[in-house]
């Protein structure tokens, strides 16, 4: 315990020193050139590609087993794509943006100049430890900032690897990583950053926002929530099952935008359940020694998920465990089988808390109208998924519900589309990043007016006289 406390104290001291060093570097070079920003992005992309196997191995070791394909597809491929998109558009994003000038101020001109904020803090989560660090890092660097990162202590191997890779690629004057537990995180979020991005649980996000408020630090909060799936009765259940299983089972459900529960017409429930029971074994014929099936990150989180399951069953839910090879998980005790829950109710914890695991409750409704009301009666989710080939009905559902993002006839895809912002709303988060929105989030938009050599603004200056009265009468009546 004493050794742990000493390590935490040392990490807190390192966090303060790293912040001061980054701040000093920013003051020396407050607006890095386009070429230097492009070079930083190129280094981030290169280290991602050249260390793909090492990153996948580190994440898997932290999880007790993580599908290497899940890591390379969901974490690394998407980062390489994002960086490529930012590189392609960066020069245009950096240019001053002309704005119309009111006729009364002509011939003056108006524009917006985007400047780096300074030092940006990133508090990254454990579920996608590389992607949810490197993604905001890419847009923060593109905007010309220095970056201090606090990765999750629940994925220590990945955190240590990122610290080494980023130090080698960028040096401590551009990017620094501070490792440690909750005490370090508390101190980290109390630093006077120019912007702070936090990805994690809603309850922790509240603490982060309070800490940042002491310094009036603006925050972007990427939180979570219970992302619903609505399946219209006309939609083919086999297609819906295929996309829902993909979205739910990647990373064993440990995804902030994973489908959390399904709303389906009661006449189609059994058909959808049967389709899911066929789909999961087709994708995962075994679980224990299947390299494609991911474990729960640690025993505490595993027990939390088991607790949700046991509470639901005790309160009347019907459990359908899908364990195709009937395995006991001796090789990988951290794995949990996919489990459907029927006949769920609001009294069950599984319908109150974000699941973040391979449990999938199915709620029956009598109409899409009822499904929309069900969603709107609950906290606004990070994502919503709607399955229906009718464009009018889909548009109506999107208009009548509020969520951070939405996908029609699929799951998760909005996160991977770099031209779209990613963020929550209400308890699922505030602010957005990815692509252009990420660049803007980490930039100060300075309003600039350039007065012309010959202008008429002096006509409205004291001493006021009849001429001004006539002008005011003309405009005000």
Nearest by Cα to 59 from 158, 163, 200: 158
Q: Is the pLDDT at 459 greater than 90, yes or no?
A: no
Query: How large is the average pLDDT for residues 374-395?
Result: 98
Q: Report d(CA 386, CA 34) in Å as an integer.
A: 41
Q: Report d(CA 158, CA 40) in Å as an integer.
A: 21
Query: How large is the average pLDDT for residues 359-366?
Result: 99
> What predicted TM-score, i.e. pTM, was given to this entire model?
0.95
Confidence of residue 204 (pLDDT cuts 50, 70, 90): very high
Those residues with Cβ within 8 angstroms of residue 477's Cβ, 6 or more apart along the chain or in another chain: none
Q: Report d(CA 306, CA 299) in Å as an integer.
A: 10
353 in helix, strand or coil? Answer: coil
Q: Is the pLDDT at 5 greater than 80, yes or no?
A: no
Does 222 qualify as catalytic in the annotation? yes
Contact predicate 282/246, CB 8 Å: no
Confidence of residue 472 (pLDDT cuts 50, 70, 90): confident
Q: Are strands 429-430 and 219-222 parallel, antiparallel or unpaired?
A: antiparallel
Residue 239, pLDDT score: 99
Nearest by Cα to 259 from 282, 240, 233, 239: 240
Out of 222, 279, 354, 437, pick the active-site residue: 222
Residue 4, pLDDT score: 56
Query: How large is the average pLDDT for residues 73-82?
Result: 97
Distances in whole angstroms, Cα of residue 422 to Cα of each of 117, 189, 220, 227:
20, 22, 11, 14
Q: Is the pLDDT at 3 greater than 60, yes or no?
A: no
Give the residue extent of every domain in the chain.
2-223+428-447, 228-422
Q: For residues 277 and 453, which has the higher predicted lDDT (pLDDT)?
A: 277
Tokens representing residue 366 in the block: 């009598």
Query: How large is the average pLDDT for residues 36-48?
Result: 99
Tell me the pLDDT of the chain averaged across its residues.
96
Q: Is the pLDDT at 107 greater than 60, yes or no?
A: yes
Computed from CA positions of residues 344, 346, 347, 351, in that sequence, does the dihedral angle turn out positive or negative? positive
Tokens representing residue 434 in the block: 């990815």
Residue 461, pLDDT score: 86
Does 411 qualify as catalytic in the annotation? no
Residue 475, pLDDT score: 85
Q: Report d(CA 88, CA 418) in Å as an integer.
A: 12
Those residues with Cβ within 8 angstroms of residue 162's Cβ, 6 or more apart along the chain or in another chain: 129, 130, 133, 149, 151, 177
Share of the chain above pLDDT 90, in %: 91
Residue 454, pLDDT score: 87
Those residues with Cβ within 8 angstroms of residue 369's Cβ, 6 or more apart along the chain or in another chain: none
Residue 376, pLDDT score: 99
Beta-bridge mates of residue 383: 405
Q: State which H helix or E strand residue 231 sits in.
A: strand 228-231
Tens of pLDDT along 143-186? 999 999 999 999 999 999 999 999 999 999 999 999 999 999 99
CATH architecture classification, 228-422: 3-Layer(aba) Sandwich (3.40)
Angle 52-63/156-170 helices, nearest 10 degrees?
A: 150
Nearest by Cα to 209 from 195, 221, 226: 221
CA dihedral of 22, 24, 28, 33, whole degrees rounded to 10? 10
Q: Is the pLDDT at 435 greater than 60, yes or no?
A: yes
Tens of pLDDT along 386-427? 999 999 999 999 999 999 999 999 999 999 999 999 999 999
Residue 6, pLDDT score: 57
Q: Report d(CA 406, CA 414) in Å as an integer.
A: 7
Residue 323, pLDDT score: 97
CA angle 214, 183, 140 (to 5 degrees): 60
CATH architecture classification, 2-223+428-447: 3-Layer(aba) Sandwich (3.40)
Tens of pLDDT along 324-343? 999 988 778 899 999 999 99
Residue 7, pLDDT score: 63
Residue 477, pLDDT score: 80
Q: Report d(CA 427, CA 224) in Å as an integer.
A: 8
Q: Kindly report the backbone phi and psi dihedral angles of residue 40, in degrees, each rounded to the nearest multiple of 5, phi listed first.
A: -65, -40
Contact predicate 324/280, CB 8 Å: yes
């Amino acid at each position: 315990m004493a050794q742990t406390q000493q390590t935490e104290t040392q990490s807190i001291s390192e966090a303060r020193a790293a912040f001061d060093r980054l701040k000093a570097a920013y003051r020396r070079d407050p607006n890095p050139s386009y070429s230097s920003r492009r070079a930083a992005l190129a280094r981030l992309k290169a280290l991602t590609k050249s260390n793909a196997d090492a990153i996948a191995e580190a994440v898997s070791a932290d999880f007790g087993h993580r599908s290497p394909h899940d890591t390379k597809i969901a974490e690394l491929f998407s980062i390489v794509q994002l960086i490529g998109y930012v590189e392609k558009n960066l020069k245009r994003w950096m240019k001053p943006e002309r704005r119309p000038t009111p006729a009364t101020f002509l011939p003056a001109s108006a524009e917006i100049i985007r400047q780096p904020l300074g030092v940006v803090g990133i508090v990254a989560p454990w579920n996608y430890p590389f992607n949810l660090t490197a993604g905001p890092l890419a847009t923060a660097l593109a905007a010309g900032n220095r970056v201090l990162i606090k990765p999750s202590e629940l994925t220590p191997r990945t955190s240590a690897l990122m610290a080494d890779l980023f130090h080698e690629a960028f040096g401590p004057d551009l990017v620094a990583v501070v490792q440690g537990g909750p005490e370090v995180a508390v101190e980290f979020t109390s630093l006077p950053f120019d912007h702070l991005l936090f990805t994690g649980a809603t309850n922790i996000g509240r603490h982060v926002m309070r800490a940042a408020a002491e310094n009036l630090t603006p925050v972007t909060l990427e939180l979570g929530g219970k992302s619903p799936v609505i399946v219209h009765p006309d939609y083919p259940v086999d297609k819906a099952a295929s996309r829902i299983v993909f979205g739910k089972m990647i990373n064993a459900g440990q995804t902030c935008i994973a489908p959390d529960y399904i709303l389906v017409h009661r006449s189609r429930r059994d058909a959808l359940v049967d389709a899911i029971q066929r789909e999961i074994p087709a994708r995962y014929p075994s679980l224990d020694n299947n390299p494609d099936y991911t474990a729960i990150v640690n025993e505490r989180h595993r027990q939390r998920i088991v607790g949700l399951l046991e509470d639901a069953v005790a309160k009347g839910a019907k459990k359908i465990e899908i364990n195709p090879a009937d395995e006991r998980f001796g090789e990988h005790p951290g794995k949990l089988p996919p489990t459907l829950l029927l006949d769920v109710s609001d009294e069950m914890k599984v319908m109150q808390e974000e699941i973040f695991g391979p449990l999938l409750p199915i709620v029956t409704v009598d109409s899409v109208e009822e499904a929309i009301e069900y969603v709107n009666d609950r906290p606004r989710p990070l994502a919503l998924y709607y399955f229906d080939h009718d464009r009018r009905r889909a548009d109506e559902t999107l208009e009548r519900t509020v969520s951070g993002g939405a996908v029609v006839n699929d799951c998760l895809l909005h996160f991977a589309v770099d031209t779209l912002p990613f963020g929550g709303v209400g308890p699922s988060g505030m602010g957005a990043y990815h692509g252009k929105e990420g660049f803007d989030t980490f930039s100060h938009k300075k309003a600039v007016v350039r007065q012309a050599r010959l202008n008429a603004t002096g006509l409205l200056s004291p001493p006021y006289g009849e001429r001004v009265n006539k002008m005011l009468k003309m405009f005000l009546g």
